[in-house]
Structure 1
Amino acid sequence: MSLLIKNTLFNGDILINGNKIVSINQNIRMDNCPFDKPIRIIDAQGKAAIPGLINTHTHAAMTLFRGFGDDMPLMPWLKEKIWPNEAKMTDEDVYWGAKLACLEMIKSGTTTFLDMYHHFDATARAVEEMGIRAVLSGVCFDHFQPELTEKAKASISKLYAAMDKYDERIRFALGPHAIYTVSGELLQWINHFSEENDLLIHLHLAETEQEVANSIDRFGYSPVRYLKELGVLSPRLLIAHGLYVDEEEIQLLADHGVKVAHNPASNMKLASGGEFKFAEMKKAGITVGIGTDGCSSSNNLDLIEAMKLASLLGKAWRKDPVVLTAEEMLTAATKEGAVIAGIDAGRIEVGALADLCLIDLNMPAFTPNFNFVSNLVYAANGSCVDTVICQGNIVMENKKIPGENDIMEKAAEIAYHLMKR
């Protein structure tokens, strides 16, 4: 299948064949096309093309908890509102919650997300049907109980062995929840499994001051130093949040090639902290992506909004308007996210995966359009996304996704029934 996108601002025409971008030119002529006549032509006059956005930390099915348990500290929120209700969730609940999440992400320009949640198969089915990419974590807890440690090992091994049944857009990762819910023994086993199979490890770390204090009390080390002692710092590790790290720990992360997902909305809403050391990490050579976290702690999955929050928050606490530019934020949400996800995307270049979005410029946020990237990051939000293409396939066109109203209605119904249970 071929797709020709005509007349985009900046890029001109973009030719896609199969799942790759094969040509970018100001005027790609049909008679010079090296492939069969494109079966689809999109006139993108008045639109700009950007790479598909990559959300590096989500809990997709938590769309069902949007607006539930708001305005609470992290640990009471988890223990009183989230964990008890998550324990009641079925495959059908997670499937519809994840399907709603995919719908929301597509409508705001995300083509790949890195998820950590229960009921792996239910989320995978939703992703397959919605047509985008995901790196789905086999989530595990053992709460320092040996019988649960062995159960977690068996569950992860079983999930990974069954990955061949899913579409190539779905990749497997390991998802130990956090150092306060997963034992050192299980973390070391996960690291070994990751090394053997070249898999990403997706872990919450250093999210709150209390977590750091508890880590020092329990293990004798701050979270990053604890992982170093366990021997699990590696280029295969992605830590979500990473708010409370000092200069030495940043260097440890850099030296071991660890990646970081910054979640500004969640960090602010849960008051976990506002001084994420984005600039310091980048200076040290750490790959930093942007995430939204789940909808119960950030309330939406709009990565364009998250880019703005990441930039403004970083400027504010440093009292420095020069740091964390709009360009840096877009790079973090595209190229850096692609590095973290392990995919050849995040850029509009010949040879890259055909994951991209068309942005509607006929909006107040882009008027005047002195600086497109600045307008995108500081003025716009996800509603500016007109068309989304993933794997060379159109998953949204003219801001419409097939069946979107049915998905929203069913997900709402499922959420209300869950809370009644």
Structure 2
Amino acid sequence: MNILIQDVLLDGHPTDIYIEGQRIAKVIRKPSQLTMDNGQWTIAGKNNGTLEQSSETINSQLSIINCQFKKAVVPGFVNAHTHAAMTLFRGFGDDMALMPWLEQKIWPNEARMTDEDVYWGAKLACLEMIKSGTTTFYDMYQRLEATAQAVDEMGIRAVLSGVCFDHFKPELAERSKKSIPELQKKMENYSDRLRFSLGPHAIYTVSGELLQWIDRYSKDNNLLIHLHLAETQGEVDDSLRNFGLTPVRYLHQLGILSPRLLIAHGIYVDKEEIALLAEYGVKVAHNPASNMKLGSGIRFPFVEMKEAGVTVGIGTDGCSSSNNLDMVEAMKLAALLGKGWRKDPEILTAPEMLYAATEAGAAIAGLNTGRIAEGCLADLCLIDLCSPVFTPNFNFVSNLVYAANGSSVDTVICDGKILMENRKVPGEEEILRQAQGVALRLTNYEL
């Protein structure tokens, strides 16, 4: 089924978009102009240059979405770091420091999770992401196949990490070395919307020897490595005590800085370390919500990384540490946090945040998405402009980043398929019911 989106606003211009299969085939900007008349948007010369009047032959199996100039189109958001199935721990163990939270609330309950638990938690995450406009996410979690099945069924795009812990024990390292090729092979059973990556948890849970093996494996198989790094001052202090180096310098000594590496958080890095990240093409996922909520830190060096040429995406982190997967809110938090600690209202603009949440996020894995352009993968969102947060609409991108949230997303298309229209996702009631039951059972919580 091909899709024709008519009379939508793209960068403020009336536009028709034709999607053929998985990709955007035509983007036709109309020469006419929008005007306001008695509080209503109208357009002069509406039919001039529209796709339906062109000489193109359109497949008879066509789904038409007529936006009537009441919707704007943006690329689907790319969540650069999350733990999908942790939706099951939303609101569980709040207002705790990072390590006590992990050791007392999260890790003990995660140890009891089954494939079914992870499946429903991941399905809930996919539902929440679709409802708020995310079409691609980078995930790090246990029981990879359960998440893969959920993502495959829900229709969005994901880069899923095979998680590695060895806790500096050689026998656990050998177990990871054996499991990773097996997981990679199993990922071939799923849609090409899903990509496999490597997920060593952090330098305090994964030995240097295993990190080096993972780097070699990623190079041989052209796979992304997804790693938590420099998230807290405590991590830096431990790194100095245990390895004699700060986290980025430690990775540099190990020889694993490369364009295949995505680090999540990266708050505690200095100028020299940023230069190393840039030199080796390392990517970074900024997670403003969890950084603030867990008290990890606020001085993320977004500007310095950008100026050095480091690709920076935006992530939500997992729902247990940020409480939602709303990338629209994450853009606002990233901008306001950067302005606040620098005391500079002109830093980190709304367009920069939209770029980080779309095209930059896609570039981390070299995905041809994150843009509305001919030949790109058809991953996009239609934003409902008929709401208070878009009134007045002096600047759409500004309103999207600073005024809106994910509830402004009306329609989501991923890989050329409509996943949500008029804010309705097929089967969402069942997902909510099942996930609620799994979460209550898993945590032994009584209503």
- Give the structure-1-normalised TM-score: 0.99
Distance 1:224 1:243, change over 3 A: same
**Would you identify which runs of 4 or more consecutive aligned residues in structure 1 move more than 4 Å?**
none
**Equivalent residue, structure 1, for 2:64:** 41
1:22 aligns with 2:45: no
- Whether the 8 Å contact between 1:62 and 1:294 is mirrored in structure 2 is yes
Cα deviation for residue 31 of structure 1 reads 6.0
Letter in 1 for 2:233: E
**Equivalent residue, structure 2, for 1:4:** 4
**Equivalent residue, structure 2, for 1:276:** 300
- Whether the 8 Å contact between 2:77 and 2:133 is mirrored in structure 1 is yes
Distance 2:425 2:337 in 1: 33
2:399 to 369, 375, 378: 375
Letter in 2 for 1:382: G
1:43-87 Cα distance to aligned partner (Å, 9 max, x none): 112000000000000000000000000000000000000000000
**Equivalent residue, structure 2, for 1:160:** 184
Cα deviation for residue 39 of structure 1 reads 1.7
1:223 aligns with 2:247: yes
Question: Partner of 2:252: helix, strand, or coil?
Answer: helix
Cα deviation for residue 171 of structure 1 reads 0.2
- Whether the 8 Å contact between 2:145 and 2:187 is mirrored in structure 1 is no
2:91 to 67, 89, 95: 67
Letter in 2 for 1:304: V
Letter in 1 for 2:221: N
Cα deviation for residue 33 of structure 1 reads 2.6
Question: Partner of 2:322: helix, strand, or coil?
Answer: coil
Letter in 2 for 1:109: G
Distance 1:198 1:414, change over 3 A: same
1:327 aligns with 2:340: no
2:16 to 13, 18, 21: 13
Question: Partner of 2:439: helix, strand, or coil?
Answer: helix
Q: CA RMSD in A?
A: 0.9
| Structure 2 counterparts to residues 236-275 of structure 1, below 5 A | 236-275=260-299
Letter in 2 for 1:248: E
Cα deviation for residue 5 of structure 1 reads 0.3
**Equivalent residue, structure 2, for 1:193:** 217
1:340 aligns with 2:364: yes
1:384 aligns with 2:387: no
Letter in 2 for 1:182: V
- Give the structure-2-normalised TM-score: 0.93
- Whether the 8 Å contact between 1:11 and 1:49 is mirrored in structure 2 is no
Question: Partner of 2:364: helix, strand, or coil?
Answer: helix
Q: Which moved more, 1:162-171 or 1:240-249?
A: 162-171
- Whether the 8 Å contact between 2:124 and 2:435 is mirrored in structure 1 is yes
* Consecutive unaligned residues in structure 2, runs of 5 or more: 31-49
1:119 aligns with 2:143: yes
- Whether the 8 Å contact between 1:61 and 1:101 is mirrored in structure 2 is yes
1:134-160 Cα distance to aligned partner (Å, 9 max, x none): 000000100000000000111111101
Identity level (%):
68
- Whether the 8 Å contact between 1:172 and 1:199 is mirrored in structure 2 is yes
Distance 1:31 1:320, change over 3 A: closer
2:119 to 88, 95, 105: 95
1:330-374 Cα distance to aligned partner (Å, 9 max, x none): 000001011013210000001100000000000000000000000
**Equivalent residue, structure 2, for 1:138:** 162
* Consecutive unaligned residues in structure 1, runs of 5 or more: none
Distance 2:56 2:22 in 1: 16
- Whether the 8 Å contact between 2:266 and 2:300 is mirrored in structure 1 is yes
Question: Partner of 1:341: helix, strand, or coil?
Answer: coil
Distance 1:38 1:304 in 2: 33
Larger Rg: 2
Question: Partner of 1:253: helix, strand, or coil?
Answer: helix
**Equivalent residue, structure 1, for 2:130:** 106
| Structure 2 counterparts to residues 66-85 of structure 1, below 5 A | 66-85=90-109
Distance 2:61 2:346 in 1: 44
1:85-123 Cα distance to aligned partner (Å, 9 max, x none): 000000000000000000000000000000000000000
**Equivalent residue, structure 2, for 1:285:** 309
How many equivalent residue pairs?
421
Question: Partner of 2:216: helix, strand, or coil?
Answer: helix
**Equivalent residue, structure 1, for 2:33:** none
Distance 2:196 2:21 in 1: 23
Cα deviation for residue 37 of structure 1 reads 2.8
Distance 1:14 1:31 in 2: 13
